[in-house]
């Protein structure tokens, strides 16, 4: 079925060091720097040769490229000059082809540690990258960070603006008190949930302990400030990193700009050629300047039109989630889009056909297109992307952090502040007056600090002092296919109760306000049930799979 390419024994010996096989049409490239892979794939798109033949004839033997040097001295450091030559080749290819997509051909894993919650939202804004962030659910944040000099401190960032300003001492003292209050609350909540949900005979001690800890951490996380540090793992292409670094360089926050410099230094150790434009005056610097000027101008315009905050009561039912816009002809459009890849008609003809159908016939087409889904990972096809929903959400910052991770949606947000008030989990009031008083005292003190930081350093820096429990306004626009994914995932029993509530409201609005009942009812894994220890079932499933737990979490 496939033509088998001919290589000599010597060639196969070379190729076996850089390709996972030498005889099949599908193979992976290994043991080469990312910049070399990028240069090779860039050339690959402009030649009749196979990649392995291209590697042998244009890369391996040429001393000006240096691949043989890299191979001969792998791990010794002597191949660095070869990598440098490969970078020059990549730059030549890039300039010759003039194609930004060339920078998609290599990537890097980057660990970003001790980044504030504010910075993580900057880091995670790009769509085309993979992120894994440390969760507030699995560790107690009263466990301090230790420095090499033996000192310890709570897990929060001191932004340079505040650290070098007149509020530095007050900021640190207030943050330390906040984390001490968090410690009191999270430990009290852990005891409370163990009493409220006693361990049964079916649960292992480890699963039960992890489930009660997760519930306690979920409840107490509202006290954590936006300066709380997190560890974040990123995998992205050179193109994605380039865009991220230029956005960070335009940030009004010193933490983001300082972090950008560190990231660029480290990325240049592994994919330098992909990032050559970031700090060139008429390229990346000019691009960052453009972002900054737009932000300044829009901030000024928005400030001219800013209303005064009336401090009114927040109505959880009506104010948290609002459906702003949806497609009134959703079913007609979905029927046409669903039939399109299986037909030879134009979409215009299919739209006319869908309009002629009766309601029951359209419903039958839509249900057939969705199919018999046996689990939530069975998603309907791209025809569901034909219709959309736009929501305005005013939820606690903690919930926003989780929902913002669905980056394939269009999501944008306002600055975090204290102006919209804060949410208090009902369990805080139930556990006892001491815990509730601690919660409200902490929120009040942080509101006072916010006001002073706002006056001294402005609204961007003032975000650092705001606890996760305070509300933030953001909008979400997603198509129906994305709604299947997010609403079914985020209403699962192990989800946080706050974002479960937000997503259940979105689902209800799609069904009742938009009137898209067929679509909403097809989201059969949207789960409205109330759970006690929601994480417990997930922990027990780990035991049922009988997989050894390598790490205790």
Of 466, 424, 435, the C-alpha closest to 448 is: 466
**pLDDT value for 73:** 47
Per cent of the chain over pLDDT 90 is 61
> With 80 as the cut, is the pLDDT of residue 380 above it?
yes
**What DSSP line would sit under 131-191, residue for residue?**
EEE--TTSS-TTSPEE-TTS-EE-SB---HHHHTSTTHHHHHHHHHHHHHHHHHHHHHHHH
- 547-553 long-range CB contacts below 8 Å, 24 or more apart? 549/206, 552/206, 553/138, 553/210
Q: How far apart are the first and last CA of the chain?
A: 49
Backbone CA torsion sign across 136, 139, 144, 148: negative
Backbone CA torsion sign across 85, 86, 91, 97: positive
**pLDDT value for 97:** 52
Q: Which domains does the chain have, with CATH numbers?
A: 9-105 (no CATH), 109-307+428-464 (3.30.1360), 316-417+471-544 (3.30.1360.170)
Of 219, 186, 237, the C-alpha closest to 423 is: 219
CA–CA distances in Å: residue 114 to residues 151, 264, 368, 521: 16, 17, 49, 43
Task: Taking residues 189-197, report their average pLDDT.
Answer: 91
Task: Taking residues 177-194, report their average pLDDT.
Answer: 95
- Which carries the bigger pLDDT value, residue 450 or residue 92? 450
Least confident of 50-54, 178-182, 264-268, 531-535: 531-535
**pLDDT value for 532:** 66
Tell me phi and psi for residue 422, to 5 degrees.
-130, 160
Least confident of 13-27, 42-56, 354-368, 513-527: 42-56
**pLDDT value for 550:** 43
Task: Taking residues 524-538, report their average pLDDT.
Answer: 74
What whole-number distance in Å separates Cα of residue 331 and Cα of residue 338? Answer: 10
Of 422, 394, 418, 247, the C-alpha closest to 321 is: 394
Contact 476/391 with Cβ under 8 angstroms?
yes
**pLDDT value for 539:** 46
Of 447, 530, 441, 521, the C-alpha closest to 488 is: 521
Q: How confident is the model at residue 364 (pLDDT cuts 50, 70, 90)?
A: very high
Residue with tokens 């780990």: 542
**pLDDT value for 24:** 87
Least confident of 61-65, 461-465, 498-502, 516-520: 61-65
CA–CA distances in Å: residue 500 to residues 212, 480, 487: 18, 18, 8
Provide the β-strand partners of residue 391.
323, 476
Secondary structure of 74-107 as H, E, C letters: CCCCCCHHHHHHHHHHHHHHHHHHCCHHHHHCCE
**pLDDT value for 308:** 46
Contact 499/395 with Cβ under 8 angstroms?
yes
> With 80 as the cut, is the pLDDT of residue 533 above it?
no
What whole-number distance in Å separates Cα of residue 270 and Cα of residue 385? Answer: 37
Contact 521/363 with Cβ under 8 angstroms?
no
CA–CA distances in Å: residue 243 to residues 250, 287, 291, 386, 422: 11, 9, 11, 28, 34
> With 80 as the cut, is the pLDDT of residue 94 above it?
no
Task: Taking residues 397-402, report their average pLDDT.
Answer: 95
What whole-number distance in Å separates Cα of residue 97 and Cα of residue 317? Answer: 55
pLDDT tens by residue, 213-271: 999 999 999 999 999 999 999 999 989 999 999 999 999 999 999 999 999 989 888 88
- Average pLDDT, rounded, for the chain: 87
| Element at 489 (helix H, strand E) | helix 480-490
What whole-number distance in Å separates Cα of residue 89 and Cα of residue 70? Answer: 15
**pLDDT value for 403:** 94
Task: Taking residues 200-204, report their average pLDDT.
Answer: 77
- Which carries the bigger pLDDT value, residue 17 or residue 85? 17
Strands lying side by side in the sheet with 321-326: 321-326, 388-396, 471-479, 410-413
- Which carries the bigger pLDDT value, residue 420 or residue 75? 420
| Element at 324 (helix H, strand E) | strand 321-326
What whole-number distance in Å separates Cα of residue 97 and Cα of residue 99? Answer: 5
Burial class (CB in 10 A: 0-12, 13-18, 19+), 297: exposed
Task: Taking residues 420-447, report their average pLDDT.
Answer: 95
**pLDDT value for 75:** 41
> With 60 as the cut, is the pLDDT of residue 505 above it?
yes
| Element at 413 (helix H, strand E) | strand 410-413
Q: Name the pTM for this structure.
A: 0.86
Least confident of 218-227, 313-322, 530-539: 530-539
Provide the β-strand partners of residue 128.
none
The DSSP code for 27 is -
């Amino acid at each position: 079925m496939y033509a088998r390419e001919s290589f000599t024994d010597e060639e196969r010996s070379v190729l076996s060091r850089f390709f996972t096989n030498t005889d099949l049409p599908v193979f992976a490239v290994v043991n080469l720097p990312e910049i070399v892979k990028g240069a090779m794939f860039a050339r690959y798109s402009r030649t009749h040769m196979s990649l392995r033949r291209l590697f042998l004839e244009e890369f391996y033997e040429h001393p000006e490229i240096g691949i043989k040097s890299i191979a001969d001295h792998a791990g010794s450091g002597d191949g660095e000059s070869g990598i440098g030559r490969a970078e020059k080749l990549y730059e030549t290819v890039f300039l010759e082809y003039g194609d930004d997509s060339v920078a998609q051909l290599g990537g890097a894993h980057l660990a970003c540690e001790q980044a504030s919650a504010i910075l993580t939202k900057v880091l995670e804004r790009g769509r085309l990258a993979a992120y894994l962030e440390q969760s507030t659910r699995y560790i107690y944040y009263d466990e301090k960070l230790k420095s090499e000099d033996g000192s310890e401190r709570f897990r929060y960032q001191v932004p340079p603006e505040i650290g070098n300003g007149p509020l530095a001492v007050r900021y640190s003292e207030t943050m330390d008190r906040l984390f001490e209050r968090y410690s009191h609350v999270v430990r009290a909540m852990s005891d409370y949930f163990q009493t409220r949900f006693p361990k049964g005979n079916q649960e292992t001690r480890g699963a039960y302990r992890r489930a009660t800890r997760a519930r306690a951490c979920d409840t107490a996380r509202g006290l954590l400030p936006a300066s709380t540090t997190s560890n974040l793992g990123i995998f992205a292409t050179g193109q994605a990193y380039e865009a991220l670094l230029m956005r960070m360089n335009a940030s009004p926050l010193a933490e983001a700009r300082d972090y950008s410099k560190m990231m660029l230094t480290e990325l240049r150790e592994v994919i330098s050629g992909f990032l050559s434009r970031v700090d060139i005056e008429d390229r990346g610097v000019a691009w960052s300047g453009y972002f900054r000027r737009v932000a300044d101008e829009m901030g000024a315009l928005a400030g001219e039109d800013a209303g005064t905050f009336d401090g009114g009561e927040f109505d959880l039912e009506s104010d948290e989630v609002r459906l702003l816009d949806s497609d009134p002809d959703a079913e007609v459009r979905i029927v046409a889009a669903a039939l399109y890849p299986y037909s030879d008609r134009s979409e215009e003809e299919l739209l006319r056909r869908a309009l002629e159908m009766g309601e029951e016939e359209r419903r039958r087409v839509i249900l057939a297109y969705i199919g018999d889904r046996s689990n939530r990972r069975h998603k309907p096809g791209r025809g569901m992307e034909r219709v959309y929903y736009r929501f305005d959400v005013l939820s606690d910052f903690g919930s926003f952090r989780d929902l913002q991770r669905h980056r394939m949606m269009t999501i944008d947000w306002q600055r975090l502040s204290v102006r919209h008030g804060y949410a208090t989990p009902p369990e805080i009031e139930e556990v006892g007056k001491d815990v509730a008083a601690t919660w409200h005292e902490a929120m009040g003190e942080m509101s006072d600090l916010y006001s002073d930081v706002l006056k001294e350093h402005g609204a961007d820096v003032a975000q650092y002092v705001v606890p996760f429990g305070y509300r933030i306004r953001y909008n979400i626009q997603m198509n129906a296919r994305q709604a299947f994914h997010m609403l079914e995932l985020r209403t699962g029993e192990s989800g946080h109760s706050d974002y479960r509530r937000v997503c259940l409201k979105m689902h209800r609005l799609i069904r009742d306000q938009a009137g898209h009942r067929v679509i909403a009812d097809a989201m059969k894994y949207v789960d409205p049930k109330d759970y006690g220890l929601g994480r417990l079932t997930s922990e027990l499933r780990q035991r049922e799979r009988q997989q050894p737990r390598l790490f205790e979490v």
